[in-house]
Chains A and B, each alone.
Chain A
Amino acid sequence: MNWASWSDFFAMGGYALYVWGSYAVTAGLIVMEIILLRGRSRAAVEQLGRHGKGGRT
């Protein structure tokens, strides 16, 4: 085990800013992409009802 305690873990041997800065931004961007993907998918399906063939029949 690398870490004596949770605070030891979060301190990252003094490199907390760099390590957690990398991981936090990566996680944030991926969550953002998933939200955008879902929004686009929802909008694409919803527009079928308004403008697509389905809406005209």
Chain B
Amino acid sequence: MSQPTLVIGNVNWFKYASPQAFYPLAGTMMPWFAWAAAVCCLAGLYVGFFVAPTDHQQGESYRIIFIHVPAAWMSMFIYLVMAFWAGVGLVFNTRLSHMMASALAPTGALFTFIALWSGSLWGKPTWGTWWVWDARLTSELILLFLYFGFMALQAAIDEPRRADRAGAVLALVGAVNVPIIYFSVKWWNTLHQGASVSLTSAPTMAATMFTGMILMAFAAWFYSIAAALHRARSIMLERERNSDWVARYEGTYKS
């Protein structure tokens, strides 16, 4: 199969769309993202627990925000990236795009669960309930099921190309849910509060709280990239174990 080309400024941007070119590149990038995640996480925890003041309404319970908001952002963002790669894979028939979509799903599901879990633990002291079927919480739960559905569908189909295409269609259709989650607090009357942070206005929270939250968001971001690259490399080896480029990586596992 010939790879498509996209040449802009004398660079073929699809060069890294082939697993043999992407595998070593991903291996080089992975540790940098992992370290960046660790540094941002430590800085975020320090600011979150030792610099940011006690909230005058919620007391110390608000410190769940440093996990909850970054996890919720990542849960939606990873889904959009996953759907993007699934769409690219459907249009260009590039096998690496589908591998990236598959590599993102478990990490996306992880952050979705963390967002729901931390939200539940935050809801109990502030709303008096662990769970309520309002639009924000319900659509986020549907997001978790979409991730599970994507993974289960791919696992259920033996032939990888068919599994890729079926998963990609599900990922694209499910993408409709992401704007529903994001705008649910505007479109419906929800127990969940509206956004404290938006691109169009200043955040309605103390500067140090905001700093801690952004640092944790960067940590979640870098961690997700590192985890997805790590998983994508395993998927490449698993799927392409009978191709020539893979043979040279025999016995290269380092912990």
Interfacial residues, chain A to chain B (CB-CB below 8 A)? 1-3, 9, 12-15, 17-19, 21-23, 25-26, 29-30, 33-34, 37-38, 40-49, 51-55, 57
B193 at the interface (CB under 8 A from A): no
Residue from the list A2, A22, A38, A44 in contact with B64, Cβ < 8 A:
A22
Which residue on chain B has the smallest CB distance to residue A1? B50
Determine how close the nearest CB of chain A comes to the CB of B43; give it in whole angstroms. 16
- Option from B59, B107, B252 in Cβ contact (under 8 Å) with A14: B59
Provide the bound-state CA to CA distance between A55 and B244, in Å. Answer: 12
Partner of A44, one of B61, B234, B247: B234
Alpha-carbon separation in the docked complex, A29 to B255 (Å): 19
Q: Is the CB of A22 within 8 A of B67?
A: yes
A–B pairs, 23, beta carbons within 8 Å: A15-B60, A15-B125, A18-B61, A18-B125, A19-B60, A19-B64, A22-B122, A23-B67, A25-B114, A25-B117, A26-B71, A41-B234, A41-B253, A42-B255, A44-B233, A44-B237, A47-B238, A47-B241, A51-B241, A52-B246, A53-B243, A53-B244, A54-B247
Range class of the B interface residue count: 35 or more
- State which residues 124-180 of B face A: CB under 8 Å: 124-125
How far does the alpha carbon of A55 sit from the alpha carbon of B170 in the complex, in Å? 37
- Which B residues are closer than 8 A to A by beta carbons? 49-50, 52-54, 59-61, 63-64, 67-68, 71, 106-107, 110, 113-114, 117-118, 121-122, 124-125, 223, 227, 230-231, 233-234, 237-238, 241-244, 246-253, 255
A12 to B59, CA, bound (A): 9
Pair B107/A26 contact, Cβ less than 8 Å? no
A19-B61, A40-B234, A49-B250 known; A29+B110 contact, CB < 8 A: yes
- Contact A22 to B53, CB < 8 A, known contacts A29-B114, A44-B237, A45-B237: no
| Nearest CB on A from B42, distance (A) | 13
